[in-house]
A = this chain, B = another copy of it.
Amino acid sequence: MHIREKLAQKEAAGEPGISFEFFPPKTAQGVQNLYDRMDRMANLGPGFIDITWGAGGRLSELTCEMVGVAQSVYGLETCMHLTCTDMGQEKVDQALAAAYKAGCTNILALRGDPPRDKETWEAADGNFRYAKDLKYGNHFDIGVGGYPEGADDNDDVDQLIDHLKEKVDAGSSFIITQMFYDAENFIEWVKKCRAKGITIPIIPGIMPIQTYAAFIRRSNWTKTRVPPQWMEALEPVKNDDAAVRDIGKHLIAEMCRKLMASGLNHLHFYTMNLAQATRLVLEELGLAPSDDSPIQRPLPWRPSLALGRRGEDVRPVFWRNRNSSYVARTQTWDEYPNGRWTDSRSPAFGELDAYGVGLKGTNEQNIKLWGEPKSIKDLSDIFIRFLEGKLERLPWSDSPITAEASDIHDLLLNVNRRGFLTINSQPSVNGVKSSHPVYGWGPKNGFVYQKAYLELMVPSDLIDQLIAKIEQNDDLTYHATRKNGDLRTNTNDSPNALTWGIFAGREIIQPTIVETISFLAWKDEAYALGDDWAKCHDAASPSRKLIQQVMNDWWLVNIVDNDFHRTNAVFDLFNDLEIKDFAVELPGKPETNGTAEQNGAAKN
């Protein structure tokens, strides 16, 4: 969606909007960390994010990649920066093509290195018009930079406003400004812009204060005015980072309040790739989501904004905690399910070796995270620690446990304490308002529902007993599969709706389903993740043997309670199932203390 439309919607709704700016990090680990941070910051509800242009080979490619990941995996409406003066036509061409392919529809056209003369400005305009030319029609919404306190090569603010007016007249539809700390001066500058006939939205660029050193360095470098009382407040605590952040938060928030009071409806945060300072300001401003004012999610999962994918509104539940993998494994589909799964399901899920599908982290990181389990009980303890919020991820969950799980916390704990390893689950929801802080999604004034769901791993010697118990209850449907491809189910070929919503003036939406073919595709991934976990450990280690044994022997089972008035039934199935040798530790390496028999047993 074009940023101008996003801004207009917020304006019409009388709600303030926010956006975040990120830049391409220099290391691969930095990129992964930033993606995780973008994912979390998406929950603060930005209308869009900016990715700055990484000058130079690898970093410019990284800009394009980040735009793609933000759009497709994190569903963040993204604005790509282009520095028109120092990119040749060919570079601009490539960047626009990459943005287009990523589903990105917004460009911020910046000067980059300062222009030396009038001709250079026109060249910039030339590139900038290029984004709007016939090749892309009106695909791109174009924003330009604003310089409320002058540029580093030109401190004639009025002349800069004239230049800005030229760019606006050439067709840009929003302005994002440089950082500043002086609200009054900024508000005056906006008035001057308006007086010169600039009517498009002006978005103030806000730089939260992270540390005193960074604050001073940045304001000196950019020659940004600092109101004297800011120095008076910050200087005395300059060695106390926490105090600087706290005072800084209040100063920045106060500035934002003045801006909003002057009629500016949208705040653009220079995050410097960090979350905390920005989040503190938003909380101080009351703009961060809370239980009273939850973020309105369009669907129970984060919709992808990749090209051709905006209509997608049905996904199998299996990848709920592996969003990035689902997007990767379905990225080549010609069409995405819309309304119902059956109509548009593509036959094939992508291979397991695609980027983002494998196990996260290095072997060392993962051993540090999950330790060296030697018994089913050790595995069970890892799952319990994850459920208790003490582990940030599991092989089958990219992110920490969510609020939704807390309502079934005790039920989940009970199942895992018995040694069954839960991969995915949800409680039943019988029609709560779509604004519900945990279960809500979709437009206001709607009602959302879900069926209780449990997916877990079960030892093969208990599978008959479990299935017999499931089949005693007419309302339960299940699939049980195994690494070797065995499949048992009491379903027919039809997908089963797991979540759905009823909204005023709309058709029914059913964004999450359970279905056989995609479960089998997920099965391959789930066992591969377990195998990868096993391989984090030495070949002869008990942990390697234990995890491999579980992956080779245990079944992956999903169970749906189709009576969405209750949750317990699927969890109660496990109350009297006992796992053999629950606490028996596999022996260590043969040369240390194992007997031949024990090692033989461990291999089967």
Contacts and interface: CB of A to CB of B under 8 A. Distances in A.
Interface in A562-583: 562-564
Contacts of A562: 445, 502-505
Nearest to A500: B508
Nearest to A501: B508
Residue among A496, A503, A506, A508 with the highest chain B CB neighbour number at 10 A: A508
B505 A494 contact: yes
Contact of A495 (B449, B475, B507, B560): B507
A178 interface: no
A450 to B, nearest CB: 11
A497 B504 contact: no
A475 B496 CA distance: 29
Interface in A466-487: 474-475, 477
A604 interface: no
A504 B562 CA distance: 5
Interface string A173-210: 00000000000000000000000000000000000000
A98 B510 CA distance: 40
Contacts of A338: 340, 343
Contacts of A496: 504-507
Contacts of A339: 339-340, 342-343
A365 interface: no
B449 A477 contact: no
A506 B502 contact: no
Nearest to A513: B507
Contacts of A500: 502, 508
Contact of A340 (B502, B507, B563): B507
Interface residues of A, number: 33
Nearest to A562: B504
Contacts of A505: 477, 491-492, 494, 496, 560, 562
Contacts of A475: 445, 504
Contacts of A212: none
A424 to B, nearest CB: 18
Contacts of A341: 507
A222 B14 CA distance: 84
Nearest to A314: B507
Nearest to A338: B343
A34 B513 CA distance: 45
Given A340-B340, A342-B339, A474-B445, A508 B506 contact: no
A497 B508 contact: yes
Contacts of A474: 445, 504
A505 B560 CA distance: 8
Given A339-B342, A562-B445, A494 B510 contact: no
Nearest to A499: B508
Interface string A507-526: 11010010000000000000
Residue among A491, A503, A505, A562 with the highest chain B CB neighbour number at 10 A: A505
Contacts of A497: 502, 506-508
A502 B341 CA distance: 15
Interface string A30-51: 0000000000000000000000
Given A340-B339, A474-B445, A475-B445, A510 B507 contact: yes
B502 A449 contact: yes
Contacts of A508: 497, 500, 508, 510
A345 to B, nearest CB: 11
A374 to B, nearest CB: 40
Given A445-B563, A497-B506, A502-B564, 14 more contacts: A339-B340, A339-B342, A340-B507, A445-B474, A445-B475, A447-B564, A494-B505, A495-B506, A497-B502, A497-B507, A503-B562, A505-B560, A505-B562, A508-B510
30 contacts: A338-B340, A338-B343, A339-B339, A339-B343, A340-B340, A340-B507, A431-B431, A445-B562, A449-B502, A474-B504, A475-B504, A491-B505, A494-B505, A494-B507, A495-B506, A495-B507, A496-B504, A496-B505, A496-B506, A496-B507, A497-B502, A497-B507, A500-B502, A500-B508, A502-B562, A502-B564, A503-B562, A505-B562, A507-B510, A508-B508
Interface of A: 338-343, 431, 445, 447, 449, 474-475, 477, 491-492, 494-497, 500, 502-508, 510, 513, 560, 562-564
Q: What 5 pairs across the A-B complex have the smallest Cβ distances?
A: A504-B562, A339-B340, A508-B510, A477-B505, A496-B505
